[in-house]
Amino acid sequence: MKLNSRSSEMVGKIIASALDKFRVRENNDAVTDIHIQATSDSGELRIYDDDDNLLSCGVVEEWIDYNDDDFDDETAQILKKKISSMYAEDKSLQDLKILKPYSFVLIDDKKETIADLYIVDDDTVIVDDELLKGLDEELDDFIKGLLDEK
C-alpha cells in the first residue's frame, strides 16, 4: 500500500499532534512507549501514552475498508518511514520532554504489540529490523574466517 500525499500528510499531522503534548510539559515524563493503533475498517489512527491516555487521533481515508491481510505489515512500514523522516527533518523532536529511551510501537485493538517502529535513545536509534536481517550469518562467517586464518 502506498499513501497519496494527502494521507501521508495526515499521518504526519496525527503523529506531530501527539508529540506536541510532550513539548509543553515542565518535567520529563517517564514514558516508555508511544502506542500507535491503526484500524482498517474505520481508517482511524490513534496514538496513546503508556497509561492509555489518547494523545492524538485522526482518519486516514485510504485505510478505510482496506481488506488485504497485509494491513498491519503495510501500516508498520508506512509508520516507520514517516516517524524516521520526521526525526531526521525536525531536530527538535530529539528534545521532547520524555525520558530516553522510549519507543514507538504499533498495537492491535487488544493493545498487544504488533511491531516496534522506532526506538529513541541518547546513543541508539533503531529504525528498521531489515538492517539486522542476516547479521547472525555474517558474524558467523566473519568469525569462521578469523579462526581459519590461525
| Dist CA 102 CA 129 (whole Å) | 17
pLDDT band at 1 (very low <50, low <70, confident <90, very high): confident
Cell numbers that stand for 109 in this block:
485493538
How does residue 26 score in pLDDT terms, banded at 50, 70 and 90?
low
Domain boundaries, the chain: 5-149
Flag the least confident range among 7-21, 95-109, 112-126: 112-126
Q: What is the pLDDT of residue 43?
A: 93
Lowest-confidence pick of 39-43, 104-108, 130-134: 130-134
The predicted model gives 99-123 an average pLDDT of: 88
Q: How far apart are CA 28 and CA 22, in angstroms?
A: 8
Instruction: Compare 82 and 100 and report the one with higher pLDDT.
Output: 82
Please state the three-class secondary structure of 78-137 as a single string. HHHHHHHHHHHHCHHHHHCCECCCEEEEEECCCCCEEEEEEEECCCCEECCHHHHCCHHH
3-class DSSP assignment, residue 53:
coil
Going from the C-alpha of 120 to that of each of 56, 69, 94, 143, the distances in angstroms are: 20, 29, 8, 31
- Res. 9 pLDDT band, cuts 50 70 90: very high
pLDDT in tens, 73-96: 999 999 999 998 888 888 767 777
Q: Is the model's pLDDT at 27 over the cut of 90? A: no
pLDDT band at 31; cut points 50, 70, 90? confident
- Sheet of 125-126, strands arranged across: 54-59, 44-48, 33-38, 102-107, 113-120, 125-126
Enter the pTM of the model: 0.77
Residue 57: strand pairing partners: 46
d(CA 57, CA 148): 57
- What does the pLDDT read at residue 67? 85
- Which carries the bigger pLDDT value, residue 85 or residue 129? 85
